[in-house]
Structure formats: structure tokens, C-alpha cells
Amino acid sequence: MTNNQFDPQNSPEFAEPVAPQKLDLQLNLPPAIDFVEEKPSELEIENPASTSKNKPVLGVGFLLRVSTAASHFFAEAAKIDRDSITDWQMKPARIYTGLTFTGFSALGLVLLMFYISRFHPEFARTEWVKYFWYQYILLVSLGVAGMSMLGREALRRPLKEQNYLDERVD
């Protein structure tokens, strides 16, 4: 075999795809910490300004509640089997994401126009795009991405039609 001949078995484009590995969330929760509040000394009582530097901003009880809620959330998330989620169940999430992109883009463009008209009245409407090009392109791109997501969902075949066509053998 010469160097000019094509061998598809050695080409990475034609290699078998690697099977996705399952994601396992392992929760290594530390043991509960017993917090005991110490009584302030006489010096701390007389000079409260010196003790305020050492006190945490959030209370210990609040932090423990947040930590417990987070550990419960991750424990529930670890129980979800991603392979059992169907395409039909993901449709609302895709629609909401597309609507979010489109809505944020529209809101951003309205706020950008308001900002320019309020704080830069000397600009003509054609100069708006010239001076605020990056912001304008960012927001328009978000809108186009959202509309593309919505269009893709609108052009998908219904689930019943997909199953019927997939089972048919010619």
C-alpha cells in the first residue's frame, strides 16, 4: 500500500464512537459539626468593635440549613437516571430555553435603545449601531439563537409519527 491510498480503518473520522460513560455523583458528606457558642469575655463586652471583625457574616444555623438543603438536592439529582429521560420529556425545556434567549434578547435591545436615547441624545438612529456595535450584535445573536431553537422544535415531527416511521421497514 502506498502513501496515496486511503485507508478508512486508520482514519479517526470513521472510527466507532466511544460509548458515553455513566455519571455517578458520589456524595462525601462530612460528619455534622457541633458548634458551641462561646460566651464573650469581659474584654469583648467592654470593646465590642474588636469582636465584630471575628464574627462571621452569616449565622451558623443558616449555613447548616443551606448545607442540608444542598445535600438533599444533590442526593435527589444522583437518583435521576439520565438514560430514562425521553425526547418528549425534554421538549418543554428546549422551548423554554428558546423563549428565554429570545425574550432576553428583546428586553436587552429595548434597554439598549432606551439607554442610548436617554444618555446619548446627540446620536442619530444610524449612529446607534455604529457606537454600540458589540452590544447590538450580542443581543441580536441571542435572539437568532432562540428563534433557531424554537424553529427547530416547530419543525420536529410529532412523537407518534416518529415511532410509526421508525418501525416501518421497506
Q: pLDDT tier at 170 (50, 70, 90 boundaries)?
A: very low
The string of pLDDT tens digits covering residues 68-114 is 888 888 888 888 887 888 888 888 999 999 999 999 999 999 999 99
Let me know how long the chain is: 170
Residue in the structure block whose three cell numbers are 491510498: 5
Q: Are 86 and 61 in contact (CB under 8 A)?
A: no
The string of pLDDT tens digits covering residues 14-69 is 666 677 776 666 656 555 554 555 565 665 566 655 555 555 555 667 777 778 88
The residues near 42 (Cβ < 8 Å, ≥ 6 apart) are: none
For the chain, the structural domain boundaries read: 84-167
Look at residue 154 and tell me whether its pLDDT is greater than 70: yes
pLDDT, greater one: 141 or 65: 141
The model carries a pTM of: 0.51
Alpha carbons 114 and 119: distance in angstroms, whole number: 8
Sequential DSSP letters for 60-121 = HHHHHHHHHHHHHHHHHHHH--GGG--HHHHHHHHHHHHHHHHHHHHHHHHHHHHHHHHH-T
